């Protein structure tokens, strides 16, 4: 998951040796992945499937895109062991650019639909900034915990920590 033109397909191709179509920046910053694409990771054991999901906040989808964003995020959550959230470092702390509304929807669905599974959320923080990486990580964790605290939970799960439903991991990733 992540914003349109943030390098999700490129990241998946590098990690899983897949061949998802990638944006050519010389042609402009437009939608490359439409819908949901699936590929088998090459040379990876055990058998691994990578899913490339259309970017969020797409100008092509406009306001109607939020429904598709939520549906594709829930699909990924339902079938994936690891959900990668690709984000630029300068989007940490922002509302829509950091996918806060989408994460809120994902957290709410997890509580109601997938109680018996623990999914790993892997946050890939892209690019460099003058802000030290450790500070970005603290801000991101605080944002995630705040989203978790704000969502309505069934009485049985009030006070339940985020870690009971998700494992949160991070990776610093720099692309040329």
Residue-level pLDDT at 41 = 93
When pLDDT is averaged across residues 64-87 and rounded to a whole number, the result is 78
**Beta bridge partner(s), residue 56:** 3
Residue 175 has pLDDT above 50, yes or no: no
Distance CA 81, CA 78 (A): 9
Digit-coded pLDDT (tens) for 98-147: 678 878 887 887 787 766 678 888 888 877 788 888 888 888 889 999 99
Based on the number of CB atoms within 10 Å of its own CB, is 1 exposed (0-12), middle (13-18) or buried (19 or more)?
Answer: buried
Distance CA 142, CA 150 (A): 12
- Upper half-sphere CA count for residue 153 (Cβ side, 13 Å): 18
Strand 119-126 to 49-53 pairing? unpaired
Distance CA 116, CA 171 (A): 26
Residue-level pLDDT at 1 = 81
Residue-level pLDDT at 46 = 92
Digit-coded pLDDT (tens) for 38-71: 899 999 999 999 988 877 765 555 555 567 777 8
Residue-level pLDDT at 149 = 92
Q: Which pLDDT band holds residue 176 (cuts at 50, 70, 90)?
A: very low
When pLDDT is averaged across residues 2-25 and rounded to a whole number, the result is 83
Q: Enumerate domains of the chain plus CATH numbers.
A: 8-173 (3.40.50)
Higher-scoring residue by pLDDT: 27, 125: 125
Please calculate the CA angle 70-37-100 and round it to the nearest 5 degrees.
25
Digit-coded pLDDT (tens) for 152-164: 988 888 888 988 8
């Amino acid at each position: 998951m992540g914003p349109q033109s943030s390098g999700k397909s490129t990241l998946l191709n590098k990690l899983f040796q897949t061949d998802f179509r990638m944006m050519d920046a010389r042609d402009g910053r437009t939608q490359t992945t439409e819908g949901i694409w699936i590929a088998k990771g090459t040379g990876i054991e055990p058998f691994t499937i990578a899913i490339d999901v259309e970017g969020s906040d797409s100008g092509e989808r406009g306001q109607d895109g939020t429904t598709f964003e939520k549906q594709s995020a829930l699909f990924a959550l339902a079938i994936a062991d690891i959900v990668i959230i690709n984000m630029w470092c300068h989007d940490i702390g922002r509302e829509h650019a950091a996918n806060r509304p989408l994460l809120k929807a994902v957290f709410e669905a997890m509580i109601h639909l997938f109680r018996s599974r623990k999914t790993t959320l892997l946050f890939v923080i892209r690019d460099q900034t003058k802000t030290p990486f450790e500070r970005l990580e603290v801000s991101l964790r605080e944002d995630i915990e705040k989203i978790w605290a704000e969502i309505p939970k069934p009485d049985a799960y009030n006070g339940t920590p985020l870690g009971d439903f998700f494992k949160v991991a991070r990776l610093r990733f720099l692309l040329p």
